[in-house]
Amino acid sequence: MSVSIEDRWVKVFSPRSQASLRLVCFPYAGGGASIYRGWADGLPPSVEVWAVQLPGRENRFREEPYRALEPLADEAVRVLASRLVPPFAFFGHSMGAVLAFEIARRLHRAGLDLPAHLFVSGRTAPRTPNEEDPIHDLPRQEFFDALRRFAGTPEEVLQHEELMAMLEPILRADFAVSETYEYAPGPEPLPVPITALGGVHDQEVPVEKLEAWAEETDAGFRRYLIEGGHFFINERRAQVQSIVAHDLAP
């Protein structure tokens, strides 16, 4: 049986036919759907995890990755909107957080069903100016050094020439998506509760820039700080899952 592009957009590693809510998870730069493999095990049986698979990675590695957020968000809405039957929620880390946010905004503008909750993790609030120097167009060695500072790519991967030959274009494209994003003010905040999560030692996302996510909702805001750096989502996965389960509870 052939797989349509729509089917390739979502991976469900632990199907739960009796689930009452779908948690749609968006990956960070360079990540694929597999970063959310096993997430269902740490969530209530009522939650089914849908891991979004973006073009250019894992089973979609032959496809060209997007280099700008706007067309990526537009295409994600086109593909996912008809499949998002309430109740559902969004979770995104780093690049995935702003992608989830912009998809929710597009659904809102179109008068379509909205997520019951939006979890934004490891990302400064969208209307907060980005003061970091962009890295997506740096020369190769400088780009690799910048990746080391983020501590998200293992050194053994950075040293593996064949593997990095495949990963580098995806990483550059994803950083371009994140770094060229420009917030466009909307007519009103989202009528969706937002939970923002940050790493205590994440120098890229200081707490005041995390707090500013409160400006994007008129339906309630919570903020959590978790021990760890930018990739606390991997270092403290059980704690992140516990927060998600808590904030999704009625």
* Domain spans in the chain, listed from the N-terminal domain onward: 5-130+183-248
Cα atoms in the Cβ-side hemisphere of radius 13 Å centred on 231: 16
Tens of pLDDT, residues 178-193: 889 999 988 789 999 9
Q: Is the pLDDT of residue 161 over 80?
A: no
Average pLDDT over residues 152-168: 71
pTM of the model: 0.92
Query: What are the structure tokens assigned to 4, written together?
Result: 């349509």
Q: State how far the Cα of 125 lies from the Cα of 147, in Å rounded to an integer.
A: 22
Per CATH, the architecture of 5-130+183-248 is what?
Answer: 3-Layer(aba) Sandwich (3.40)
Catalytic residues: 94
Q: How confident is the model at residue 153 (pLDDT cuts 50, 70, 90)?
A: low
Q: Rounded to the nearest 10 degrees, how much is the dihedral formed by the CA atoms of 29, 34, 39, 45?
A: 130
| pLDDT tens digits, 10-68 | 999 999 989 999 999 999 988 899 999 999 999 999 999 999 999 999 999 899 999 99
**pLDDT classification of 96: cutoffs 50, 70, 90:** very high
Closest CA to 222 of 185, 249, 189, 247: 247
- On whether the CB atoms of residues 79 and 9 are closer than 8 A, the answer is yes
